[in-house]
Amino acid sequence: MKAVLALADGRIFSGKSFGAGGEATGEVVFNTAMTGYQEVLTDPSYKGQMVTMTYTQIGNTGINTQDIESRGLFLSGFIVKEYQECYSNWRASMSLDAYLKENGGKSFVIVDAGMNDLLRPSLYEAFHRIEPVVARDRAAVRVDVVGPVCETGDFFARDRELPAVEPGDLLALRDAGAYGFVMASNYNQRPRPAELLIEDGVARPIRRRETFEDLIRTEV
């Protein structure tokens, strides 16, 4: 999504946004650290300021919950030159993008399916109903339903109201149909799912789930 930074002297800078969306105001300051952006985010001394990181690549170590210095975010904006979507630190539990969204008021349901399984929402924002397989009496929450692929386009729904989801719950993405499988791929080394045909109310498999061996079978 496009982002704009407008300064008081009239200069305007354009870029791309990540993290929680919306508008914010504050004093633009800078930090020259090569590491420790997570500590910067949770440093109370930056309250109400927009921090610009001068080091080029930010996000490559993700977010480690053990390194959070305070109860949450205090700065009003975070400006970087190159945001790295994929993180590689073994201590990290989430991406910088997910952390900023979660602490900016956005909640996520992360499922094991990905954009490679059903591309339509990411490709042209197709709407698919998402429902719990087993109905439970839980309060509704507004969430983004996303997959595990390291891409900002790996989502199935945005700002969707769903009954609260807990680990281990099964969700049904409705109306995927044959076109959904035709558009599926092995992107990110992910095997494609199985296909089932429902005929006269009876479901039967018509294509088995792929395995890792299927992915490398044609390699020479």
Give which of 194, 135, 188, 128 is closest to 155, Cα–Cα.
Answer: 128
Q: Which residue range forms the structural domain that includes residue 200?
A: 107-220
Residue 198: its pLDDT value, please? 87
150 in catalytic set = yes
Q: Is residue 52 domain-shared with residue 154, that is, in the same domain? A: no
- Which of 105, 125, 140 is at the close of a domain? 105
Q: Is residue 68 domain-shared with residue 118, that is, in the same domain? A: no
CATH number, residue 54: 3.50.30.20
Confidence at 123, pLDDT banded by 50, 70, 90: very high
- Kindly name the residue from 6, 29, 150, 206 that is annotated as catalytic: 150
Taking residues 64-85, report their average pLDDT.
Answer: 81
Confidence at 56, pLDDT banded by 50, 70, 90: confident
The residue behind tokens 């650290």 is 33
Q: What is the residue-averaged pLDDT of the chain?
A: 88
Give which of 69, 64, 67, 85 is closest to 19, Cα–Cα.
Answer: 85
Q: Is residue 112 domain-shared with residue 97, that is, in the same domain? A: no
Q: 117-133 burial string, b = 16+ CB within 10 Å, else e?
A: bbbbbbeeeeebebebe
Q: Is residue 202 domain-shared with residue 112, that is, in the same domain? A: yes
Q: Is residue 115 domain-shared with residue 206, that is, in the same domain? A: yes
Cα–Cα distance between 178 and 19 in angstroms, integer? 34
Q: Is residue 21 domain-shared with residue 47, that is, in the same domain? A: yes
Confidence at 171, pLDDT banded by 50, 70, 90: very high
- Which of 105, 124, 151 is at the close of a domain? 105
Kindly state the greatest CA–CA separation across the chain: 69
Question: How many CA atoms lie within 13 Å of 168's alpha carbon, on the beta-carbon side?
Answer: 0
Count of structural domains, the chain: 2
CATH number, residue 143: 2.40.37.10
Q: Is residue 33 domain-shared with residue 113, that is, in the same domain? A: no
Q: Is 219 exposed, middle or buried (0-12, 13-18, 19+ CB in 10 A)?
A: exposed
Q: Is residue 81 domain-shared with residue 129, that is, in the same domain? A: no
